[in-house]
Structure 1
Amino acid sequence: MATNSRRFAVVSGASSGIGLELARCCAENGFDLLIVADEPEIDDAAAELSVLGHQAHAVKADLSTIEGVEKVYAACQGRPVDVLLANAGRGLGHGFLDQDFDDVRRVVDTNITGTLYLLHRIGRDMRARNEGRILITGSIAGFMPGTFQAVYNGTKAFLDSFSFALRNELKDTDVTVTCLMPGPTETEFFDRADMQDTKVGQQKKDDPAMVARLGFEAMMKGESDVVTGWKNRAQAMAAHVMPAEQLAEMHRGMAEPGSG
């Protein structure tokens, strides 16, 4: 990858959905791109984004593994990363005790372990340069106990919390951390999580382009967080005052298999 004076963005989970739209926002705003996913569609995404006039390089890597993150870091070829959009994530529906534990482990390793390692590798370089912007895709799901989605919501609770902590640790630097917290969004998430027969799986969802645009704008302004959509903002506010047991029951109504 040639080094040049254009700004450089790394976007994980960019083969579709919010990640692809975040990459599009970067391309439209003059960034060269390194986009990452563990699916072959990432090559199609790179070809699509290259049409916008800037370099878009695809890396197929499993971000649930240390080796996958190292592959991404090596693909940067020493080029300074101006913005890191840590968006890769997996969902998993059904009751915890009914899930295959290998699937559970993959959600945790993708959403938490791989994300943290990517942030650690690139974030250290940003701090050394005293320059950079980070966007972490959390979720309003992190505000409530996720009945029939317990592992996913738990990982998002971790990321929501972690992003604010990392932001505070970097407050005396010129590196900013922003947490994007969307609600249900029209992506392949619910299909892949086997949640199409649930109420939340069948309800009208937010446009991923809108979600990405608001997240990108918040990141570029250096804001701490953004909850996308007024319904999601209302739900997030309610989650701060309602008892956890009541929130868990509310989530059951949305995510219980067959509820749709």
Structure 2
Amino acid sequence: MTDHDRPFALVTGASSGIGLELARVIAANGFDLVVVAEEPRIHDVAAELGAGTQAFVTDLATRQGNEDLVAWLDALRRPIGVAALNAGIGVGGPFVETSLDADLRLVGLNVASTVHLAKAVSRSMVANRGGRILFTSSIASQMPGPYNATYAASKAFVQSLSEALRVELAEHGVSVTALLPGPTDTEFFRRAGLEGTRVDEGTKDDPAMVAQAGFEALMAGKHEVVTGTRNKLQRQAVKVAPDPLKARLHGHLNERKD
């Protein structure tokens, strides 16, 4: 049975990777939650997390998919205390060769869906005078991303949106946190077509560690958290490097070794 006195959370992109680990840590900290993904296996995640967790299957890369989720959440009539807007994909390869449909789908999921759901949950939280939003950004948001161009650009959008909403929503008791992971041991590289690249074959962080750091920063009301010592050093370095140099270095990592 679900206890409606328990805090309520939303996690998108929760079928695997960082999203799955965010769902696990949020549930372990006493939240009921809704886990969302396009894949039917999201029902297995809900079953794993047990009573108090519900699954919703929808394609957030489409406007209809977002509208369906928002309508379903509204029908629950439960205030969302935490929203982890994590769903995202990558598209690797030279921009002139990647599929236009794939790049536009990325924009639909990483950008349009993030705006759509952020609009819905922030309005709800403002009306209820409190809440916490976690945006999964990326260390890639800090530099242009040749051979992964639309992904890096989308995460720069998410990072900017997070920083802006943090200021706007603070007076309403709503905190906004950006999670900036670096390369993480998930299905991202395979799905994005980045297998065999230098970044894929390099050291990756544990998604459970990334999720735990994100959750702790969220609950502490921090504006952002960069996970992993290597990524923190990279964040400091890119602050002073010119964009053309950052782009070349990032492109070197995203380019296939062969």
TM-score, with normalisation over the residues of structure 2?
A: 0.97
Partner-residue secondary structure (3-state), 2:231: helix
Distance, in Å, in 1 between the alignment partners of 2:15 and 2:65 is 16
2:57 aligned with 1:60, yes or no? Answer: yes
Alignment partner, residue 253 of structure 1: 252
Aligned pair count reads: 256
Conservation of the 8 A alpha-carbon contact between 1:135 and 1:180: yes
Distance, in Å, in 1 between the alignment partners of 2:149 and 2:198 is 16
Alignment partner, residue 8 of structure 1: 8
Structure 1: gaps spanning 5 or more residues: none
Distance, in Å, in 1 between the alignment partners of 2:72 and 2:37 is 13
**Aligned-pair CA distance for 1:74:** 2.6
Alignment partner, residue 139 of structure 2: 140
Alignment partner, residue 17 of structure 1: 17
**Higher mean C-alpha displacement, 73-82 vs 10-19:** 73-82
Alignment partner, residue 203 of structure 1: 202
CA RMSD of aligned residues (A): 1.2
Alignment partner, residue 243 of structure 1: 242
**Aligned-pair CA distance for 1:155:** 0.3
Conservation of the 8 A alpha-carbon contact between 2:89 and 2:106: yes
Alignment partner, residue 186 of structure 1: 185
CA distances 1:163-194 after superposition (whole Å, capped 9, x unpaired):
01000011212100000000000000000001
Runs of 4+ aligned residues of structure 1 deviating over 6 Å after TM superposition are none
Alignment partner, residue 99 of structure 1: 98
Alignment partner, residue 118 of structure 1: 117
Distance, in Å, in 2 between the alignment partners of 1:61 and 1:171 is 30
TM-score, with normalisation over the residues of structure 1?
A: 0.96
Conservation of the 8 A alpha-carbon contact between 1:94 and 1:148: yes
Distance, in Å, in 2 between the alignment partners of 1:100 and 1:3 is 46
**Aligned-pair CA distance for 1:75:** 2.6
Partner-residue secondary structure (3-state), 1:240: helix
Conservation of the 8 A alpha-carbon contact between 2:3 and 2:52: no
Partner-residue secondary structure (3-state), 1:154: helix
Alignment partner, residue 31 of structure 2: 31
CA distances 1:105-156 after superposition (whole Å, capped 9, x unpaired):
0001100001110110111010111110000000010111101011000000
Alignment of 1:37-48 (within 5 A): 37-48=37-48
For 2:212, give the aligned amino acid.
Answer: R
- Identical-residue share of aligned pairs (%): 48
Distance, in Å, in 2 between the alignment partners of 1:179 and 1:199 is 26
CA distances 1:59-93 after superposition (whole Å, capped 9, x unpaired):
11111122111222233222110100000001010
Alignment partner, residue 71 of structure 1: 68
**Aligned-pair CA distance for 1:17:** 0.4
Conservation of the 8 A alpha-carbon contact between 1:93 and 1:149: yes
Partner-residue secondary structure (3-state), 2:240: coil
**Aligned-pair CA distance for 1:3:** 6.7
Structure 2: gaps spanning 5 or more residues: none
